[in-house]
A and B are shown apart, each in its own frame.
Chain A
Amino acid sequence: MLIKPIGEDFRIIGYYLGRIFLVVAAASLLPMAWAVAGREWHPFASFVLMAGLFALLGVLGLRARPETDRLDWGHGMVVVALTWVIVPVIGAVPFALSGHWMNPLDAIFDALSGLSTTGLALVQDLDHLAPSLNFWRHLLHFLGGQGIIVAALSLFARGGGITLYHGEARDERILPSVTSTARFIWAVAALHLIVGVAALGLVAYLVLGFTPIRSLFHGLMIFFAGFDTGGFAPQSTSLGYYHSAIFEGATAVLMVAGAMSFGLHFALWRGPRRAIFANLETKTILSTFGFTMILTLVGLAVAGIYTSVAGLTRQGFFQVLSAHTGTGFATVPSVELAGWGGLAFGGMAIAMALGGMGSSTAGGVKALRVGITVKAITNQVKAVLLPERAVVGTSYYQSGRRNLTTELAQSAMTVSLLYVALFLLGAGIGIAYGVPLQDALFESVSAGASVGLSVGVTEAGMPVLLKMTYVFQMWAGRLEFVAIFALLGFLYAWARGK
């Protein structure tokens, strides 16, 4: 029998939502300060309104006063799912008021795209957008990539932190407590922020010849979008704007760092480093990256798109890396990417769908699930082919020897299948609107796997239903379904429970 949620359930959810909104309200002071520094008074007014709305919701949430502040699993998942709905809606206020987005839906689309680290954009005339608004777009990548919940957990964590942590699609507890793990994640991000912005800024200043202020601006924006595998860029031509292999190389390092699990960051920091390459996840991602890279390069070579080896490898490598890490930066225009058919299209689409490592800022199915699925299938085949008395190994190495249980294999396969269904949903609706099959599939995988590469389907004039489908894909893909099912279950129980 379904149990109808009672007042206390709503109070617990409201209370935790309130705390998270106060953290986001504090974060929204940053673009506000940026606007003041740049004397950008029009965006400043909209940031004041946004901060006020977050603060108001936060305070109202705290007034809910539940009898206990311990979250159970269901409450935590509902809190996470609602956070990822409400933050983009209010976070879209400055976009909607700027005049650079056609309507509120487009502004919400871009806010969610930023928060989910997807990078698909409906912004119009990006090249004349206020720097403070550009900063907010990229800061959304940082907040979403590192995890709003993780941010909230690192500031306060009493009861139920682990539920919130898992709800945001993180399943790796690196340190004994969730709070210390959350703080470690932010420490890794802070270290990369300093090194990354300095490196990119220096390249922009010394190699590209930008002014010091603009070098710092580009360094910061590309860091947020690269390390958080987001894909927004401060200029309309994405990474192609810079026309520099050195800048692309520095960005690629950040993209790889962003697609690595925080567990791997911890292992690199504390060691033993040799064990990293024994991990199933590392082996899987290296294999799939190699496979999709070969597929794409062969496809481009056969199609004769690049006439030089340097062009083929540089452009092919960067685009596949961008797709596999879920970043979405491009050095070629979308109209050109749309012409990558055959094997090149296959390589790119598979790379996007597979994504980066678990517990990272990347999206997609994730390497560990792919590895576990392949291992489970291999074991099944071996069990059938080998003599009955033969013992088939059922373990794998991932920071230590672990048992490959039936439940684990089923879980990995289920989530993988849900991703396939999500990709097919977006592709189907795209096709229904007359988008060619290849383009519809590419764009759908890009949205569902939080990548952001586009072949031109995503634009302000596309049908409303298709926009809403991509919004759903970005939301569901980033949260890896569980929190969304929990929210749907909660709403159903509220409507039909007793």
Chain B
Amino acid sequence: MRSLFTAFVFVGVVAAVPGIATAQDEALVPVEVLLAEAESFSGSTITIEGELVGDYGFRSDGTMWTQLNDDSYARDALVDGGPRTGGNTGVGIRMPDTLAEGLDAPGGYRLEGPLVRATGTWKYHDPDRGGESYLDVSSLEVVEVGRQLEEGPDWIVLVAGLAVLALSLGLWLTRRQRS
């Protein structure tokens, strides 16, 4: 009975103070903002969310480097009919290789990489790494697993292409016969 009462009180407090429920969201920094105000976040612990793309580079020092994209394509793939919203918006991230264990393949062609929430220290112009900027990740949460995407052939384009090739070949052969 006492624990039930405590649970009711907790739920009541959370409902009454929305700030507590969204505290984690407030710490979430969009990558576009991070890039635009990179210096102001220097040394801060921040959380970014996005799709892991490209490669997982497992290095000899026990770290794994990859790129995190926080753009519309991370959530709404172009191949799936998602809108074109410009270039990609991404940053490099580094994490202990143990954190990368079990991650789905990074995003690429016909592949939506895992959507993750990465928390770590923003290293802006890190003097120990020749002025590179990246997020040094200390914790990683998979929000959505990666998935395969489909893109079949465009039959109309293929038939048109083959027709043009056949026409070229025919013209070339008749030219040879004439000469």
Residues of chain A whose beta carbon lies under 8 Å from any beta carbon of chain B: 40-42, 44-53, 55-56, 58-60, 62-63, 97, 99-100, 102, 121, 123-131, 207-211, 214, 218, 235-237, 240-241, 243, 245, 305-308, 310-312, 314-315, 331-333, 335-336, 459-461
Contact = CB atoms under 8 A, between A and B. Distances in A.
A327 to B, nearest CB: 19
Contact of B130 (A52, A310, A460): A310
A308 B78 CA distance: 41
B84 A124 contact: yes
A40 B160 CA distance: 18
Q: State the 9 A-B residue pairs at the shortest beta-carbon distance, nearest first.
A: A311-B131, A52-B164, A48-B161, A308-B127, A49-B161, A41-B153, A45-B158, A236-B88, A55-B168
B46 interface: no
Of B57, B79, B90, B134, most buried by chain A (CB within 10 Å of CB) is: B57
Contacts of B162: 48, 52
A367 B93 CA distance: 40
A484 to B, nearest CB: 29
Contacts of A333: 35
8 contacts: A42-B154, A55-B165, A59-B168, A62-B172, A127-B73, A128-B53, A209-B56, A241-B92
A59 B57 contact: no
Contacts of A123: 87
Interface in B136-179: 151-155, 157-158, 160-165, 167-169, 171-172, 175
A124 B87 contact: yes
A45 B175 contact: no
Contacts of A314: 130-131
B164 A53 contact: yes
A326 to B, nearest CB: 22
B107 interface: yes
Q: Bin the interface of chain B by size.
A: 35 or more
A99 B92 CA distance: 26
Contacts of B169: 55
A63 B175 contact: yes
Contact of B165 (A46, A48, A97, A460): A48
Given A52-B164, A208-B59, A42 B152 contact: yes
B86 A460 contact: yes
B36 interface: yes
Contacts of B94: 243
Given A44-B153, A49-B158, A335-B35, 20 more contacts: A42-B151, A48-B162, A49-B157, A49-B161, A52-B163, A52-B165, A55-B169, A56-B168, A59-B175, A63-B175, A127-B88, A127-B90, A128-B53, A208-B55, A218-B55, A236-B67, A311-B125, A335-B36, A336-B35, A459-B87
Contacts of B171: 56, 59-60, 63
A124 B168 contact: no
Contact of A308 (B84, B125, B154, B165): B125
A316 B106 CA distance: 31
Nearest to B131: A311
A208 B163 CA distance: 45
Contact of B73 (A60, A128, A459, A461): A128
Contact of A62 (B58, B90, B175): B175
A34 B67 CA distance: 25
Given A46-B154, A46-B157, A128 B79 contact: yes
B100 to A, nearest CB: 11
Contacts of A63: 171, 175
A310 B110 CA distance: 39
B108 interface: yes
Given A306-B131, A335-B36, A45 B59 contact: no
Contacts of B77: 128
Contacts of A335: 35-36
A71 B70 CA distance: 54
B129 to A, nearest CB: 7
Contacts of A459: 86-87
Contacts of A211: 55
Contacts of B55: 208, 210-211, 214, 218
Interface in B60-77: 60, 64-65, 67, 69, 71, 73, 77
A56 B60 CA distance: 52
A93 B73 CA distance: 23
Contact of B88 (A58, A126, A243, A245): A126
B107 to A, nearest CB: 6
A312 B132 CA distance: 10
Contacts of A218: 55
B84 A45 contact: no
Contacts of A128: 53, 73, 77-79, 107-109, 111
A45 B78 contact: no
Contact of B67 (A100, A124, A207, A237): A237
B54 A306 contact: no
B24 interface: no
A144 B113 CA distance: 34
Contact of B85 (A124, A210, A306, A307): A124
B57 A45 contact: no
A173 B85 CA distance: 47
B84 A58 contact: no
A241 B126 CA distance: 15
A45 B131 contact: no
Contact of A460 (B84, B90, B132, B164): B84
Contacts of B90: 127, 236-237
A308 to B, nearest CB: 3
A131 B77 CA distance: 16
Of A100, A129, A308, most buried by chain B (CB within 10 Å of CB) is: A308
Contact of A307 (B36, B127, B129, B155): B127
A239 B77 CA distance: 24
